[in-house]
Amino acid sequence: MDKDALTAWALRNGWVMIGGHPSLAKPTAPKEAIVRLVFKATVVNLEVKKPAGKWEKVGGDSYAKVALPEDDEDALPTGLGFEKVPSITKLMQDGRDRKVFAGFG
């Protein structure tokens, strides 16, 4: 995968651009990112915001080692450490719901 493919996957699955990074926001504060993907020249990192406000890298790998499962385009990419963030699917669902309901307003 590359940066563009990962960004497209993230935006399609409830992530939003906050501070120039695809991010998942707090359900109670949709403008404040708590999980983000940070793209570097050759690697992508998954970071989580600690309660003290500092970002902590929980996973990451080179673009070549990050892949989506072939049978499900909306599944979580492998190689980034998503399994270390237990509420990631809930945060993604909240993001998708926010996008859908924003269209009604």
Tens-place pLDDT, residues 67-86: 987 877 668 998 899 999 98
Beta strands 43-49; 55-62: pairing state: antiparallel
What residues does each domain of the chain span?
3-100
For residue 44, the model assigns a pLDDT of 97
Q: Which H or E element spans position 18?
A: strand 16-18
For residue 30, the model assigns a pLDDT of 85
Rounded Cα gap, residues 76 and 99, in angstroms: 19
Tens of pLDDT, residue by residue over 26-42, are 888 889 999 999 999 99
8 A C-beta contact, residue 96 and residue 13: yes
pLDDT band for position 104 (cuts 50, 70, 90): confident
